[in-house]
Amino acid sequence: MSAELHVRRRVAFSETDAAGIVHFSTYFRYFEDAEHALWREAGLSIHPEVSDIGWPRVAASCEYHRPLRFEQEFDISVVIAEITRRTVRYAGTIASRGERVAKATWKIACIAKQPDGSMRSTEIPASILERLEPYVHRLPDTE
């Protein structure tokens, strides 16, 4: 199994602005869709119907290299760049026609849902860590 997950998409009209170009905020939806596909491939759901934990985003960054336009096909690649006891950090790339369109990183935190509706940071359950481990992209040592 490859650490990298690939999703192929086509730009929908509703994702474009008046100039026919994908709005910058839509790229975060593309990356999130690929993240959820990774979880499904791992046999998980990031938002099961009944769960005492949640996964809010705590950081996100995207660099844009060229635009996407209506009906253009593109590929989204995502890997888990790092897992700590409480967070998962992803790295993703969007490419079309052999050229990089955008690259992003984002981080989610595992939280315990409190009875009063608040959230508290908690450790990622071992069963989830085990299923996500095959998607961690290990960079070679530079020493």
Given 17, 33, 75, 116, the catalytic residue: 17
Rg (CA), the chain: 16
Look up 17 and say whether it is catalytic: yes
* Residue (of 57, 52, 11, 51) closest to 32 by Cα position: 57
Given 3-state DSSP classes, what are the helix, strand and coil percentages for the chain, each rounded to the nearest 5? 20, 40, 40
List residues with catalytic annotation: 17
